[in-house]
Chains A and B, each alone.
Chain A
Amino acid sequence: MLLALREILRAKIRFGLLTGAVGLLVFLILFQQGLLGGLVTNFIGAIDNQNSPVLVFNDQARSNVEGSFLTPDQVDAVADVDGVAESGPIGEDTYTVDAGDDLQDAVLFGYELDGLGEPLTLSDGRLPEGPNEGVASSADADKGFAVGDTVTIVGAGDTDGPRIEIVGTGDNLRFSVAPTVFVSYETFEAAKRAVNPDARVVLPSLVAVEPADGVSTDELTDRIDAEVPGTEALTRQEAVDQSPGVQGVNQSFGIILLLAFLVVALVVGFFFLILTVQKAKALTLLRAVGAPSRYLVRNLLVQIGLVLGAGIAIGFALVALVGSVSTGDVAVDLDVRTAVFTVIGLAVISLLGGLASIRRVLKIDPLRATLDSGREI
């Protein structure tokens, strides 16, 4: 058996503690990445997964869909911008709805059927074909938003607003962590009037725009910004990235993850460095009786690999456990690509942490074994 394995078996507590610490740190890193993915998807999935490549906001809204509305003049002016192939209104608002025999919050996205703003991730049923039909976020199917369910908007004074039949569900379509339903623009207008009968007018939140052939989305957003006062045109990706909170959440988690990676490198690196120093005499003897440096380095790398491998396994197991018992609205959404990059990052950073130990091992002078102590490596 490799020396590395024998050593681990004889020092179970030490290696167990290290593996436990690494495992929990890996869990923290994976969990927070999963949480970040889940948060972002749940906050702006509806924007990310609709078919309009360009979205026009009121420039005072700071990329906030809920704070944006456009006047009829602005909607017409956007349509007239050179390079616009197609445009249409998108309305968004949050309503109290009666769904699944329960009063709940739900977000409605109204768009012109067969036009821009249509959901892209239909996983069950069909798209709406007329008024009072909707496609809901599939994550909320068991809350009364499954295909065949009826969702009723609660109007002013507890009156019934439009009754929307769910005819399809789509993945990652939530907005603001609430059940979300895509309906025709007329249905959206009816819902708006039901909750606010005094409204003088119902205004769209955004204008969805498709560029003409040969016009890039960036060119078109610049033109709209220049030609239509009071608007801010964003590509779909810009609208996602600049959504309120998303930038802050990304930056906050970025700092936390960086610190967690540093702790992993420091803990792994210093643990093996101390261990190497403590084993100096034995390692010098091994070198003196003919063990090549690469054998000792290999043992060290095997130990780092085993600790890291076990830590990663613990981390993934804990994430799976937490994911399965989580009952919150925000699911831990850890995609494969993120997980693979995290594992690679952890491997690299652990090896970097172990470099000092490797350097010490390579510096061992077998001649020292003839001295009283081999500690001087």
Chain B
Amino acid sequence: MHIAVRELIRRPGRFVVVGGALTLLVLLLLFLGALLDGLFLNSSGAIRAQDTDAIVFSDDARESFLRSTIDAPTRAEVEAVDGVESTGGLGLSLLGVDIPDSDDIENAAVIGYERATDSLPEPPAPGETYADRDLDDLGADVGDTVLVGPAEVPLEIVGWVDDANYLLQYGLWVEPGTWREVQNANRPDAVVADDEFQVLTVSVADGADPEVVRAHIDGATGTTDSLSQNEAVFAIPGISEQNSTFAAVIGVTLFVVGLVVALFFALLTLERLGLYAVLKAVGARTRTIVFGVIVQSVAVALGAFVVGGVLTFGLAQVVPAAVPVQFETGRAMFTAGAVVVTSVLGALVSLRRIIRIDPASALGSGV
């Protein structure tokens, strides 16, 4: 067995310090990542739930669902554009929802839709709703009737959908007529007409270039602004800024990981200079010693990731509901990889010191 591994097994205490610091940093990284994913996914679920090549807004809405209006004549113009295969209407109302057996009013996004997708079934009957499964955690159940908005429009939950929230508000998916009823009863200052939607989702014909079709739609109507699904997600207010800010904070934290590992492996190397000199004197090659340091840094990083992961999961169980953390496998894998790579890079800061060790110094140092 390699000497570095033996040291890890026999003297784990030596690595507790750097492991402890790394564990806290992993906890910080995973929590930041979970927060970013929770904010992003819970804000954009309703848009990502669509199977669409374009989302068409009215051009005066500046890519805002709530201010966009697509009337029937505009929809007809869109459907007449070459390359458009089919369209579906979407409308959103942000309102409070009263759940049976819950003391608090919760925030809901009542979303009227026409087309089933991979994650959304065909629209339910009037007065019924498919609710985001997160409402299950608040005590709602299939068969319950929730009351929406000040007008207390009743909606019966007839099933669950996953990952279908909007702007951190619980998604309640209804057929278009029910959405208009909810909107007009609760917002008399912002009524929607029959056949009117806020945006259209568009599927393009086989072989058609979605980007070209989007341009043709806007050219044909003169009053629309067509975005790809991804563009519509990042048009949600604050999403881009949120992502870039969190990415910067996560990046700086990773840099701190590298510095901390470099610092503690520098201290460990200093402590073991005499031992390294003896190893070199008895024939160990520099690369063998460096490989050992790398093995130890990887082991410490992975150990810290496992313990930090468990702690993060524990922390997530006790954080208030207002903190929207969500754990994603991809984020965890990225964090593990980044911590390992940064740790190795940090440990290699001691490389110069190890290379410079003179085997002859073993005679003088006497360890």
Taking beta carbons and an 8 Å cutoff, which residues of A are in contact with B? 13-14, 17-18, 20-21, 24-25, 27-28, 31-32, 35, 58-62, 64, 66-67, 69, 94-96, 103-105, 154, 156-158, 176-177, 192, 195-196, 198-203, 230, 244-245, 247-248, 251-252, 255-256, 259-260, 262-263, 266-267, 270-271, 273-275, 278, 328-330
Contact = CB atoms under 8 A, between A and B. Distances in A.
A303 to B, nearest CB: 14
A263 B24 contact: yes
A196 B319 contact: no
A27 B96 CA distance: 39
A14 B266 contact: yes
A274 B104 CA distance: 52
Contacts, number: 160
Contact of B260 (A96, A154, A157, A267): A267
Contact of B191 (A31, A196, A267, A328): A196
Interface stretch (B130-138, B182-190, B207-215, B336-344): B182-190
B271 A278 contact: yes
B125 interface: no
B263 A17 contact: yes
A199 B320 contact: no
Interface residues of B, number: 62
B188 A200 contact: yes
A28 B251 CA distance: 10
Given A196-B190, A199-B188, A24 B67 contact: no
Given A18-B263, A60-B95, A105 B189 contact: no
A196 B189 contact: yes
Interface string B55-87: 000011110101101000000000000000000
Given A96-B61, A154-B60, A278-B271, A259 B31 contact: yes
A21 B264 CA distance: 11
Chain A interface main SS type: helix
Interface of B: 17, 20-21, 24-25, 27-28, 31-32, 35, 59-62, 64, 66-67, 69, 94-96, 98, 104-107, 149-150, 168, 187-191, 193, 223, 237-238, 241, 244-245, 249, 252-253, 255-256, 259-260, 262-264, 266-267, 270-271, 315, 319-320, 322-324, 349
B95 to A, nearest CB: 6
A203 B189 contact: yes
Nearest to B152: A60
A263 B241 contact: no
A62 B107 contact: yes
A263 B18 CA distance: 11
Query: Which of A20, A201, A230, A248 has the most chain B CB atoms closer than 10 A to its own CB?
Result: A248
Given A21-B260, A64-B107, A176-B237, A69 B252 contact: no
- Closest 10 A/B residue pairs (Cβ): A60-B96, A248-B322, A21-B259, A17-B263, A270-B17, A259-B28, A60-B150, A24-B256, A263-B24, A199-B189
20 contacts: A14-B266, A32-B249, A61-B96, A67-B95, A69-B189, A96-B62, A96-B67, A199-B188, A200-B189, A244-B168, A245-B168, A248-B320, A259-B24, A260-B28, A266-B21, A275-B267, A278-B270, A328-B241, A328-B245, A330-B241
Contact of B323 (A61, A192, A255): A255
A14 B322 CA distance: 41
A88 to B, nearest CB: 18
Nearest to A74: B150
Nearest to A195: B67
A368 B168 CA distance: 64
Contacts of B270: 14, 278
A329 B263 contact: no
A239 B74 CA distance: 40
A247 B324 CA distance: 11
A103 B62 contact: yes
Contact of B252 (A24, A96, A198): A24
